[in-house]
Amino acid sequence: MVHQGSATLALQDVLLQYRNERTQSVDIGQPHAGFTNLLDRASWYLESGAQVALCGPSGCGKTSLLNLLAGIEKPKSGSIRWGHIELTTLSAQQQDSWRRASLGLVFQQFHLFPRLSALENVLLPTRFVAFAPTAALRERAQMLLGRVGVRAIADIAVLSRGEQQRVAVARALLMSPSVVLADEPTASLDANTAETVSTMLRELCREQRSTLIVATHDRGIASAFDAIYDMANGKITRR
């Protein structure tokens, strides 16, 4: 079993590549020919509880970086450590265990089930660990929905996009994760709704001391975070 552990991030000398499909030839003796380095032996360190925005041009690899941090992708080389947990050495089963215990994910698309109520959608993560949610988790789900301003019995199909994203935020925080990763969570929302959702996400993560990393193109959203990091040319640098 993999325990939740600290949410301190230490990413060291990470190399992440993707193949250039249009490359016609690969030079002998050039091991990286035909590839683009999304991360070129990059390092990144964050203290537990940090709240940071990750920015960069489209195609620079922000989503791939979040996938690395979630243990969904593996780098070609390097180390990715959350506290004492080294993600690159975990088995698939151990990674699943770590994600269930430690990770909350928020996406641009909400991935909600329209035939379920808001409460049932928030409780979905419990289905991976039990047939029925405990009373404590049901109470927490109701509390989170109250905090984000959505009724527990609300029909997902009639909620606005902003309300649906609030439900998705509540779902991501249900298991009190030590790490929350959000990939363009406000990109499909209008400016006022985006600010409201971003504020709620930051406040809830701060209360439970989760480390929060949000990939965003929105300068206004990014400016509210403790720090902004730019991803470009294979490196991650603080602005």
For 137, phi then psi, to 5°, come to -70, -35
Q: What is the mean pLDDT of the chain?
A: 89
Provide mean pLDDT across the span 91-102: 92
- 200-215: pLDDT as tens digits: 999 999 999 999 999 9
- 39-53: pLDDT as tens digits: 999 999 999 999 999
Q: Residue 3 has what pLDDT?
A: 40
What is the CB-side half-sphere exposure of residue 23 using CA atoms within 13 A? 12
Kindly tell me the burial class for residue 1, based on how many C-beta atoms sit within 10 Å of its own C-beta (0-12, 13-18, 19 or more). exposed
Q: Is the pLDDT of residue 27 over 60?
A: no
Its sign, for the CA torsion 109, 128, 201, 135, is positive
User: How far is 17 from 42, CA to CA, in rounded Å?
Assistant: 12
Q: Residue 16 has what pLDDT?
A: 93
User: Residue 6: which pLDDT band, with cuts at 50, 70 and 90?
Assistant: low
Residue 118 token pair:
């808001």
User: Residue 191: which pLDDT band, with cuts at 50, 70 and 90?
Assistant: very high
Residue 102 token pair:
């430690």
Provide mean pLDDT across the span 72-94: 95
Whole-angstrom distance between the N-terminal and C-terminal Cα of the chain?
38
Nearest to 44 by CA among 73, 2, 72, 16: 16
Which residues, other chains included, contact 164 with Cβ-Cβ below 8 Å and sequence gap of 6+? 110, 112, 156
Least confident range of 129-138, 168-177, 188-197: 129-138
Q: Is the pLDDT of residue 153 over 90?
A: yes
- Look at 131 and 33; give whichever has higher pLDDT: 131
Q: Residue 1 has what pLDDT?
A: 39
Neighbours of 62 (CB within 10 A): 24
Q: Is the pLDDT of residue 70 over 90?
A: yes
Q: Residue 5 has what pLDDT?
A: 45
Residue 76 token pair:
């070609």
**DSSP calls for 84-138:** TEEGGG--HHHHHHHHHHHEEEE-SS----TTSBHHHHHTGGGGGT-SS--HHHH
Residue 59 per-residue DSSP state: T
Which residues, other chains included, contact 201 with Cβ-Cβ below 8 Å and sequence gap of 6+? 106, 169, 180, 182, 185, 212, 214
SS3 49: coil
Nearest to 117 by CA among 176, 158, 174: 158
User: How far is 124 from 214, CA to CA, in rounded Å?
Assistant: 22
User: Residue 219: which pLDDT band, with cuts at 50, 70 and 90?
Assistant: very high
